[in-house]
Amino acid sequence: MNQLDVSKKYLITGGAGFIGFYLSKALLKAGAQVAGLDNMNDYYEVSLKEERLSILKAYAGYRFVKGDLADKETVFRLFEEYRPQVVINLAAQAGVRYSIDNPDAYIQSNIVGFFHVLEACRHYPVEHLVFASSSSVYGGNRKVPFSTMDQVDKPVSLYAATKKSNELMAYSYSKLYGIPLTGLRFFTVYGPMGRPDMAYFKFAKKIMAGEPIQIYNQGDMLRDFTYIDDIITGVVNILCNPPLPDENGSAYKIYNIGNNKPEKLMDYIAALEKCLGREAKKEFLPMQPGDVYETYADVQDLIHDFGFKPSTSIEEGLSQFAEWFLDYYG
């Protein structure tokens, strides 16, 4: 396994996002040069994205470009000027529920935007393109844990469909143009400075405001909650280890990055209540469209190839989140 090469230039799309911020920080701390691209949209509070950026801009090796992946000219100009060797595509319109009412945003960002990244990597060759997929591609699959060998052709949300589309587009570009590509199926990522649209973050805000939290499927759900530090370790391991061509000549690989330990939603809420020092008022609701009952990552490939698997407990992860949350919003 190759160690992280800090002499390479890294480009991270979605650079002001949750995972983009932590990955940028890890690479900059190691001494690498990083360029970040982000459209700074207001899907959730922009002030949090600006806060993350202010931390990154303190590093001499950081460069930020405000721009949209859906604008091909912006993407190509950045590749032309910066000439990255490793690209990590984390920019996407996120959120399963939002995709039900706002489909256009997902096609522009997740399909058109990713197409522009692929095209840029074709015209300005890179050593490795790593892209974010999602555990949502597993849809309503009943077999657990979810393996990258499982069929994933029945998405239950447009968001999931766009992520599966990314995987297919990536495979074809790898095959046609020899671009080494790795897709990462992230499982319910959480942690300090996270995404305010995620359930744990919304719960924390409502608990502290004394408002009831909405719990779907009467609380009967299981999620493979994965702490941000584990996600970043997984991604950093992969960056300088592009896949080798398969029997079809495509250098393409998919990994699950999840905790490999599904937690009951009610246990997660109880752990969050404990960390915040307050009990939640609870409103139980039926299952929502686009939701799935359980997520559970099979991470054997990650263990086999890198000797690593995520392992942060929800108690440990949520205490880190709560400490930050109470300080930031306190």
Pairwise CA distance, residues 235 & 240, whole Å: 10
Q: Does pLDDT of 330 surpass 90? A: no
User: Would you say 192 and 198 are in contact if contact means Cβ atoms under 8 Å apart?
Assistant: no
Q: What are 185's two structure tokens? A: 């199926």
Closest by CA position to 15, among listed 71, 57, 70: 57
Residue 182, pLDDT score: 98
- For residue 201, being part of any structural domain is answered with no
Closest by CA position to 102, among listed 47, 45, 155, 162: 162
Report the CATH number that the domain containing residue 34 is assigned in CATH. Answer: 3.40.50.720
User: Would you say 223 and 263 are in contact if contact means Cβ atoms under 8 Å apart?
Assistant: yes
pLDDT for 209-224, tens place per residue? 999 999 999 999 999 9
pLDDT for 124-152, tens place per residue? 999 999 999 999 999 989 999 999 999 99
Q: Count of H helices and E strands in the chain?
A: 12, 13
pTM over 0.75: yes
pLDDT for 227-271, tens place per residue? 999 999 999 999 999 999 999 899 999 999 999 999 999 999 999
Which residue blocks in the chain are alpha helix, DSSP H? 18-30, 46-56, 72-82, 96-101, 103-106, 113-123, 158-177, 199-209, 228-239, 265-276, 300-306, 314-329
Residue 222, pLDDT score: 96
Residue 93, pLDDT score: 87
Of 43, 138, 159, 200, the catalytic one is: 159
User: Would you say 26 and 102 are in contact if contact means Cβ atoms under 8 Å apart?
Assistant: no
145 preceded by cis ω (within 30°)? yes
| 118 — pLDDT class (breaks 50, 70, 90) | very high
**249: domain range?**
9-190+225-260+294-311
Residue 94, pLDDT score: 83
Residue 3, pLDDT score: 96
Task: Compare 264 and 103 and report the one with higher pLDDT.
Answer: 264
Task: Compare 296 and 291 and report the one with higher pLDDT.
Answer: 296
Residue 101, pLDDT score: 86
- For residue 285, being part of any structural domain is answered with no
pLDDT for 50-81, tens place per residue? 999 999 999 999 999 999 999 999 999 999 99
**112 phi and psi, to 5 degrees?**
-65, -45
Residue type, 68: D
User: Would you say 257 and 231 are in contact if contact means Cβ atoms under 8 Å apart?
Assistant: yes
User: Would you say 139 and 160 are in contact if contact means Cβ atoms under 8 Å apart?
Assistant: yes
pLDDT for 148-187, tens place per residue? 999 999 999 899 999 999 999 999 999 999 999 999 999 9
User: Would you say 159 and 99 are in contact if contact means Cβ atoms under 8 Å apart?
Assistant: yes
User: Would you say 69 and 105 are in contact if contact means Cβ atoms under 8 Å apart?
Assistant: no
Percentage of the chain lying above the pLDDT 70 cut = 100
- For residue 286, being part of any structural domain is answered with no
Residue 289, pLDDT score: 87
- For residue 60, being part of any structural domain is answered with yes
Averaged confidence pLDDT in the chain: 96
User: Token match 């692929």: residue?
Assistant: 118
Q: What are 271's two structure tokens? A: 């752990």
- For residue 176, being part of any structural domain is answered with yes
User: Would you say 123 and 76 are in contact if contact means Cβ atoms under 8 Å apart?
Assistant: yes
Length of the chain equals 330
Q: Does pLDDT of 281 surpass 80? A: yes
**247: exposed, middle or buried (C-beta count within 10 Å: 0-12, 13-18, 19+)?**
exposed
159 catalytic? Reply is yes
- The percent helix, strand, coil of the chain (3-state, each to 5) is 45, 20, 35
**138: exposed, middle or buried (C-beta count within 10 Å: 0-12, 13-18, 19+)?**
buried
Residue 160, pLDDT score: 92
Tell me how crowded residue 36 is: count the other CB atoms within 10 A of its CB: 27
- For residue 325, being part of any structural domain is answered with no
- For residue 238, being part of any structural domain is answered with yes
Closest by CA position to 237, among listed 253, 248, 224, 250: 253
Q: What are 87's two structure tokens? A: 């690209």
Closest by CA position to 190, among listed 316, 64, 330, 5: 316
User: Would you say 44 and 18 are in contact if contact means Cβ atoms under 8 Å apart?
Assistant: no
| 99 — pLDDT class (breaks 50, 70, 90) | confident
What is the number of domains present in the chain? 1
